[in-house]
């Protein structure tokens, strides 16, 4: 499973386990309902800020690992 798919699954499962509707998540996170619906269908391209807002609203954080940074001089 791809990293993005795992993230989608984790956020959706957390929301559902807390019995939070998409509408409520939109209200408490400040993320648009349409964005949440697209995200949970695996569509769209949410920013890190959007992902962070959804995660914060559900009480967890997202940690990203950068594997490699290449600077071309």
Q: What is the CATH number of the domain that holds 20?
A: 1.10.260.40
pTM for the structure as a whole: 0.81
Would you say residue 15 lies in a domain?
A: yes
Measure the CA–CA gap between 42 and 70, rounded to whole angstroms: 29
pLDDT digit string (tens) for 20-58?
A: 999 999 999 999 999 999 999 988 889 989 999 999 999
Q: What is the pLDDT of residue 66?
A: 72
Q: What is the pLDDT of residue 22?
A: 98
Q: What is the pLDDT of residue 25?
A: 98
Would you say residue 28 lies in a domain?
A: yes
The torsion region of residue 23 among left (phi > 0), alpha (psi -120 to 50) and beta comes to: alpha
**10-19, 44-53, 58-67: the lowest-pLDDT one:** 58-67
Q: Which two tokens stand for residue 38?
A: 């697209």
Note down the domain range covering 33: 3-57
- For the chain, the domain total comes to 1
């Amino acid at each position: 499973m791809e990293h993005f798919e795992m993230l989608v699954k984790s956020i959706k499962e957390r929301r559902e386990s807390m019995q939070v509707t998409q509408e409520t998540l939109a209200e408490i996170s400040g993320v648009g309902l349409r964005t949440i619906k697209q995200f949970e269908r695996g569509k769209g391209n949410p920013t890190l800020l959007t992902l962070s807002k959804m995660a914060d609203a559900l009480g967890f954080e997202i940690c990203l690992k950068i594997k490699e940074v290449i600077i071309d001089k």
